[in-house]
Amino acid sequence: MTQRKYTAASAGPRIDTFLQQTLQNGAFKLKYEILDSEASDGDFETPDIMVKFTGPDVDLLLANRAEMLLALEHVTMEVLHMPSEDHSRISFDANDYRLLRIEELRVSAQTAGDKVKRTGVPFRFNPMNSRERRVIHLALRNETTLRSESAGMGPGRHVVVYPAGMPSLPDPPYVPEPRRGAGGPPRRDGGPPRRGDGPPRGGRRR
């Protein structure tokens, strides 16, 4: 296990202060524990500190692939002014989501690797954060006939699995998902929504 840089005793009070205020302001029905992580021989996730959430609103944290849980984790690390290279040292979890997600990523990496071996065609994963990309890379690190690399920029950054020796391909353009409710439904011809395409005017908003 890597040397522990953060502990519940040293960083816990700052994490606790921020989470208490944030959860109170958001009226979330959540409790949490700030714990030193147990020593592990694994190298997929080796955080120094675990923050484990329980309570009636855990489902809100885990909705949409734990979007709110991961956002809360990220904002907490920004408040603590943690450098990006330390972001893997603190992990937020609920209902063992992180462990289940790691196993899901490992299986996906193996499936993608088998497909690349069989077809000789590179495989692109959907965009994911740096910690999840690391799991993919580690899951394939012992494959002698494959290689994996991160590609893309910003929120479009993703992992590509190549046959060993194949040069990297150009990145496809990143197209962000359209925001819901932004001007009505899209036109069939691909153009911007016309006036009148949205909800009828004159009604009361609820």
The pLDDT tens digits of the residues spanning 146-190 come to 999 999 988 889 999 999 999 999 887 766 665 555 444 444 444
| Whole-number pLDDT of residue 196 | 45
Extract the residue ranges of the chain whose pLDDT is less than 50.
Answer: 1, 182-206
d(CA 202, CA 23) in angstroms, rounded, equals 37
* Residue whose structure tokens are 């979890």: 93
3-state secondary structure (DSSP) of residue 158 = strand
b/e code 1-11 from CB counts within 10 Å (16+ = b): eeeeebebeeb
* Residue whose structure tokens are 């006036």: 195
d(CA 26, CA 178) in angstroms, rounded, equals 26
CATH 3.30.300.20 fits 8-95, yes or no: yes
Residue type, position 38, single letter: E
- CATH 3.30.1370.50 boundaries in the chain: 101-163
| Whole-number pLDDT of residue 187 | 44
Phi-psi region of 182 (alpha: psi -120 to 50; beta: other; left: phi over 0): beta
The DSSP H or E segment spanning 138 is helix 130-139
Adjacency order of strands within the sheet including 31-36: 31-36, 49-54, 90-93
CATH T-level fold of 101-163: Ribosomal Protein S8; Chain: A, domain 1 (3.30.1370)
- CATH 3.30.300.20 boundaries in the chain: 8-95
